[in-house]
Copies of this chain bind each other. A is one copy, B any other.
Amino acid sequence: MKDYLFQKVYDYVVHRIERREWKEHDKLPSVRQLSSEMDIHRLTILKAYQLLKQNGKVYVKDKSGYFVQPEGTENLEHFDNPIVSAYVQKNHLSEIHQSPVSYHFSQALIDPNLLPNHYFSDYVKKVFDLYPKVLATYSTVQGDTELRETLSRYFINQYKTYIHPDYLLITSGSQQAIHLIAQALIKPGDLVLFERPSYSAAIDIFRAHGAKIEAVEIHPDGYDLAEVELFLKKFKPRLFYLNPTFHNPTGYTVPAAQRKKLVELAEQYRCLLIEDDAYHDIYFGQAPPPPIYTYDTAGTVIYIRSFCKYISPGLRIAAVICQSSLMQSLITVKSLSDNGSPLLNQKIFLHYFSSLRMQQHLAKLRIALQIRKEIMEEELKATDWHWTSPIGGLNLWVKLPDQLNTEELLTKSIEHSISFVPGQVCDPLKQRSSWIRLSYSYVNEKQLREGVSKFVDVAQTLLK
């Protein structure tokens, strides 16, 4: 794990000094100031300053700040001074994940120990027996036909909605699916509607493609549909990116009645719905309502379904369903992006997905995750924080006391080897927030108890 932002800050300061824009004994910007200028977390700036000090580039005077060291003339590679600079892009969530901590409450991933690892080598062996040239062959760009046929049958069985294999595209994870959609459908200045809060990487992807962003609140009981209609009318968004089932980060689920109505509204206002469904099978009681795309009769929904997160995240397999003309464009974008996902991965997934073991695994996994969720909630009971207990997914969306600065809390928590996602990162409008996302899926039960209890202590200290 490497901290690239850290390197960026480090290089930035070194360049300034090297070009003598900052001269001997000049004072460096404060950590807070540079953090806001570079839009990089304060802790990262601080760590870079500390290493600069260690390396003799800067020195500290009393407590008044960092200053340029005279004779800072190490043999710097001009390799770090690019001929051409890249257009800056950001991935906010991935920056937080780079912090090396023990209690990963920022990771909405499933503990590898809960995944069916030891079965997989059997399926891999089977794949090599069945398709001895699997590694010598490219998949078609759209994805392995056998896998698409299997998924087609699965969707028909599950939701009684006919999905032809030609309307299915296999992608390398759902993140790639979002990225392909943004490439095919977004030009700078196009408006994209988000839920508020929303999935941070999706916000970053659409932003990187130049989208203007608006957002409607998602509540424990779904949307305020009058508000959604107002937004559709007022902003005429090209797309509405949504995550209506065990929503990330809140865990909320949009009820069935609203799903149907939403499709009608989207059709009326000619707005594509991008339905990201990454946690569908992780429910703790009843199965969730059918996906929004099952209510679609007019090609209004692009549906992204990922299974791998709770089976084998390492395979990087997701599926996109959409109507024919958009599918053709997505396939072209996929062909330019990577020419198709690896066939081996698709075949391994296919054979596990078609096996009985998958349903058994899911049943066990739901229980294990529900227990972890309950442990987290139990440890949080000591506080006066608020959350709506989710009936599925991997996250708790928690409201902290208003006076708690979540950025400061993150810095402090990382010092105590705890990570979480501040609400601001999940806000399409990037405003400060006293909400945070805590994932209960990645660390084991013991760590969960320890970590959450520690975390509560850290927060209490800041409140004093």
Contacts and interface: CB of A to CB of B under 8 A. Distances in A.
Interface of A: 1-2, 4-5, 7-8, 11, 78-91, 94, 109-110, 112-113, 115, 117-118, 120-121, 124-125, 128, 132-142, 166, 172-173, 175-176, 179, 183-185, 187, 201, 204-205, 208, 238-239, 266-267, 270-272, 297-300, 312-316, 323-333, 335-339, 341-345, 348
Contacts of A348: 135
Contacts of A115: 133, 135-136
Contact of A332 (B89, B113, B134): B89
A343 B125 CA distance: 18
Given A11-B325, A117-B135, A299 B81 contact: yes
Contact of A89 (B11, B184, B266, B271): B184
A321 to B, nearest CB: 12
Number of copies of this chain in the oligomer? 2
Contacts of A300: 83
Nearest to A267: B83
Given A86-B184, A175-B338, A2 B166 contact: yes
Contact of A325 (B85, B109, B118, B238): B85
Nearest to A201: B336
A452 B68 CA distance: 70
B324 A84 contact: no
Contacts of A328: 4-5, 7-8, 86
A279 to B, nearest CB: 17
Given A8-B325, A175-B336, 6 more contacts: A4-B327, A94-B335, A112-B137, A115-B133, A173-B339, A314-B344
A326 B7 CA distance: 12
A1 B140 contact: yes
Contacts of A333: 89, 208
A7 B83 CA distance: 44
A86 B329 contact: yes
Nearest to A328: B4
Given A86-B325, A135-B120, A342 B339 contact: no
Contact of A136 (B81, B132, B142, B313): B313
Contacts of A204: 336
A2 B331 CA distance: 11
A117 B89 contact: no
A301 to B, nearest CB: 9
Nearest to A180: B337
B8 A87 contact: no
Nearest to A12: B325
B134 A314 contact: yes
B314 A342 contact: yes
Contacts of A205: 336
A424 B271 CA distance: 38
B270 A135 contact: no
Nearest to A167: B79
A323 B84 contact: no
13 contacts: A1-B140, A4-B331, A8-B325, A83-B266, A83-B271, A89-B184, A89-B336, A117-B133, A117-B135, A120-B135, A135-B313, A172-B172, A316-B338
